[in-house]
Homo-oligomer: A and B are copies of this chain.
Amino acid sequence: MQIQNPAESGKRPHVVIVGAGFGGLAVAHGLRSADVDVTIVDRQNHHLFQPLLYQVATAALSPADIAAPIRTIVRSQRHTHVLLDEVTGVDANTRSLSLATGATLAYDFLVLASGARHSYFGHDDWAEHAPGIKTIDDATRVRSKILLAMELAETNRQENVSRRDEFLTFVIIGGGPTGVEMAGAVAELTRHMAAMDFHFVTPTCVRILLVEAGSRLLATFPQDLGEAARKALESLGVKVMLNSRVTAIDEHGITMGEEHIDTMTVIWAAGFQASAAAQWLGAKSDRGGRVLVEPDLSVPGRPEIYVIGDTAAVIDRNGQPVPGIAPAAKQEGAHVAKLITARTRGQNATTPFRYRNFGTLATVGRQRAVIDFGWMRMSGLAAWLIWSTAHLYFLVGFRSRLIVGMNWLWNYLTFNRGARLITGGGLAKAPPEIRQLPIASPAPSLSLAG
């Protein structure tokens, strides 16, 4: 195995960025004029605007509305390369990454911005029945699941009443921003479909449950905003179940201690587990697997390695943890790009990172949101308008902004759901048990076989 280091041979320093999320792209952007070579490694060919992924899962947006090829985003940066591959390990002594395709990649500076994934608190078997939403494939899978459940409920109107409840019950687990946004969007989607496009399923048949183990929603927001979110969800018909801890999940539903809820559709928005960066580095991490970094975001003892975004546990100067949201990851990425630029110029740059809090937001349905600016907080329609504007503004690329804006406007005016497609095989890929379910008649002359 032969690893070349361009810096030693008098070439430009090589900066490797793992992950093309908000943090990784901010690093690449910050290095656009620096005298370095940059390689971005990602498992996907696209950057994803994750804050809107729940809208893909609820058929309001198409995947392409919120994703853009990484190559296109960094197109104008001549010295930036993109590599579709997966990191399997880091050798900090030889300064190289090993990749799933079998190659190694040498670096002078390494930025790990590899994000986070779900955690099922040790119950990995729940993943099959309660998918989370992190990738486009996750989102289209959840979308198909919701839409298929509605179709099955419509077909099973006469017989199998208990099965029908199972189809029409949608459970979202986790009362953080993702769970709150998802519950609101599922309520709007299913009730709107029932009202407009179904003959036998009516909006009142549909049950949406938001299950949270803690005593309130939006635990990282001020108390009154959590309460505002709860009221907004309840006005959309969501049943909010606080202090409810899930103890089991299988294909027929969820169990919370003594209580069992029959449902075909469970969506996971609870656990959080940082990417394997801490293992790659052998570095100390917090309970969520986030690497404990120095104030300048470098790894203790490895000044040439930085960790940012959801993979890093960053403590702000006021002693508070920096939240795992897009603006924080972007600020961290920009900070690291500045430090690397200074260091390639021979400066010993170790300026601590300082988080500027521009507010945290969560949306509930089509017209309500909650915002915490730190110095003020708001909820309701005004908050929703600010939320929409902010998200549109931060969407990568003008095209996305234009199309998403049009889609939103159109959905808002017509309450239409443009992307209501069951893909990935639809009924044919449904579990055999569902596929062979004896169905009742959708039309007067259909009856049960056998």
CB neighbours (8 Å) of A431 from chain B are none
Residue A137 at the chain B interface, CB threshold 8 Å: yes
Given A67-B421, A421-B46: A72 and B197 within 8 A (CB)?
yes
Interface digits, A414-450 against B, CB 8 Å rule (1 contact, 0 not)?
1010111111111110000001111111111111111
Residue A161 at the chain B interface, CB threshold 8 Å: no
Contact between B83 and A155, CB atoms less than 8 A apart: yes
Contact between B427 and A403, CB atoms less than 8 A apart: no
A1 closest partner in B (C-beta)? B449
How far, in whole Å, are A416 and B73 apart by their CA atoms in the complex? Answer: 12
Contact between B136 and A423, CB atoms less than 8 A apart: yes
How far, in whole Å, are A251 and B198 apart by their CA atoms in the complex? Answer: 45
State the Cβ distance, A323 to closest chain B Cβ, in Å.
28
A407 closest partner in B (C-beta)? B403
State the Cβ distance, A383 to closest chain B Cβ, in Å.
28
Residue A100 at the chain B interface, CB threshold 8 Å: yes
Contact between A44 and B426, CB atoms less than 8 A apart: yes
Residue A43 at the chain B interface, CB threshold 8 Å: yes
How far, in whole Å, are A64 and B59 apart by their CA atoms in the complex? Answer: 9
State the Cβ distance, A197 to closest chain B Cβ, in Å.
4
Contact between A423 and B140, CB atoms less than 8 A apart: yes
Contact between A443 and B103, CB atoms less than 8 A apart: no
Jot down 17 A-B pairs with beta carbons below 8 A, ordered by A: A1-B447, A4-B444, A6-B444, A43-B426, A43-B428, A69-B420, A71-B198, A81-B199, A81-B442, A86-B428, A99-B439, A101-B435, A102-B438, A102-B439, A103-B446, A106-B447, A399-B418
| A contact residues vs B (CB 8 Å cutoff) | 1-6, 11, 14, 16, 37-39, 43-46, 62-65, 67, 69, 71-72, 75, 81-86, 98-107, 136-137, 140, 147-148, 151-152, 155, 193, 196-199, 399-400, 402-403, 406-407, 410, 414, 416, 418-428, 435-450
